[in-house]
A and B are shown apart, each in its own frame.
Chain A
Amino acid sequence: MSTDQSQRSIRCLVAKVGLDGHDRGAHVIARAFRDAGFEVIYSGLHKAPDEIVQAAVQEDVNVLGISILSGAHNTLVPKIVEGLKEYDAFDDTLILVGGVIPDDDKAELKELGVAEVFGPGTPMEETVEYVRENAPER
């Protein structure tokens, strides 16, 4: 890697949105991504969609992982998607959602532009592998 002229790295924003104080899962993911060699930016708790958009745009992340366990995904995710579009950041950002999402909503989220939804019990390797394979090039 050191002899390589170009030094690509996958950058991920792990985001907690809305009134949801459960961040154990987000921490575990952040750690796993770090250990996979990714650069992880963790948003912290209780962020508004605006803040997530601001972070995703400025940090130019390849991957935006949104963790929601509050059930508010149908309101929050569209706002984030809209914001990303506003800054031309939607097309080349891989959007993932993690947390408790009912099956019926999964299809709707994917329709919106979410690439994949990872529910509870998803093996970490699966998520990491998915990111490696699908993270858009910069």
Chain B
Amino acid sequence: MSESAGLLDDLLAGKHRALARVITKIENRDPGYRELVSGLYEHTGNAEVIGITGSPGAGKSTLVDKLAEHYREQGETVGVVAIDPSSPYTGGAVLGDRIRMASNVGDMDVFFRSMSARGNLGGLSTATADAVKAMDAFGKDKVIIETVGAGQNEIDIVGAADTVTVLVPPGAGDNVQMLKAGILEIADIFVVNKADMDGADRTVQELTEMVHLGQGSTTVDAGHHGFDEVEMDLDMPTDTDPWKPPIVETVATDGEGVVDLVETFTEHRTFLEASGELTRRRRQRVAEEIRTLLRDDAAGLVEDELDDQGGVGTFVDGVMAGDTDPYTIADDVMGPIRDCIEEQ
């Protein structure tokens, strides 16, 4: 108790080491981490959380570096959580995103933390959302989450970020088709990075078409409007217009387009606030968080009950011997827990 309380105080007082240690405790699921996160909660909600996802090698880390540099020039503090995959065999990982943070070396006001996915498949680690809270409570103005190089369905980022940015490298034409039902659906903003490469124009064009098609399908009820009427490009979104994901071209290696991108973030932020979408997203996030915690707790209770009744091994023996089956066992194990709940 006293240790985590002290740690929390140090974090709120702006000690970098405390922030680092809190994130470690969150990652390790240390005893007491829940108390910590619960203590962080009231100090959160001020940071703007931006998610960056896209295929491996799309330039996520380099772009994050340039974004952080830009924000620092504006006098804002930045936290970055960068997730890299972990080995399914050993659990080990090489976390290489930090190498790209060349523009912010020695600047402690960019707090960069590498995380291993620790076996999680959604592109984030289970600890990511809580780590973001720690940075938020620490007082970071912007928190950037960089996902594992994501392919099709690594869409956990939606639950963690206010603005989801999907990087699409040029020449991903075929991939664009392939990805349609996954990662491209989650984008608030598309970035065609490496825009100086051949094929960038085509990728931009294909994305534009896709966005327009998507727009068509969400406005089905306004069917008397033709498609050409929906195509108004430069309108700022008002609170009634749905958000149409803009496509921004960048060359992250030399910082080209970064200012455009930051402006687009601001536009999206304005939209989120004006339309009530921000509140909706945050409510959804909290609901999901409550459910996840309860699921974990319930799973823990069930595990304990299972151990009390002799452990899973004895039940398996029973099934293998043909005396019973998994369904009956599940009913039996759940019985006492169910009784407790029904008594209330």
Q: Which residues of B contact A34 (CB under 8 A)?
A: 87, 90, 92-94
Interface size on B, residues (CB 8 A): 37
Please indicate the chain B residues that have their CB under 8 angstroms from the CB of A31 in the complex.
94
Option from A37, A50, A54, A59 in Cβ contact (under 8 Å) with B90: A37
Known: A7-B28, A41-B114. A87 touches B16 (CB 8 A): yes
Given A57-B16, A89-B17, does the pair A36, B93 have CB atoms closer than 8 Å? no
B residues less than 8 Å from A1 (CB atoms): 91
Q: How far is the CA of A87 from the CA of B106 in the complex (A)?
A: 13
Pairwise interchain contact B106-A50, C-beta atoms closer than 8 A: yes
Q: B335 on the interface (CB 8 Å rule)?
A: no
Cβ-Cβ contact count across A and B, 8 Å cutoff: 104
Interface with A: B95-103, B142-150, B231-239, B255-263, which one?
B95-103
Residues of A contacting B118 with CB < 8 Å? 7, 9
Residues of chain B in range 201-236 having any CB-CB distance to chain A below 8 Å: none
- A32-79 contacts to B, CB under 8 A, are 33-44, 47-48, 50-51, 54-55, 57-60
Beyond A37-B90, A37-B92, A51-B105, 7 additional contacts (C-beta under 8 Å) are A1-B91, A6-B29, A35-B92, A39-B95, A57-B108, A87-B17, A138-B28
Interface residues of A (CB under 8 A from B): 1-3, 5-9, 11, 30-31, 33-44, 47-48, 50-51, 54-55, 57-60, 87-89, 138
Q: List 11 A-B contacts (CB under 8 A).
A: A2-B119, A9-B28, A37-B90, A47-B105, A57-B17, A59-B113, A60-B21, A87-B17, A138-B21, A138-B24, A138-B30
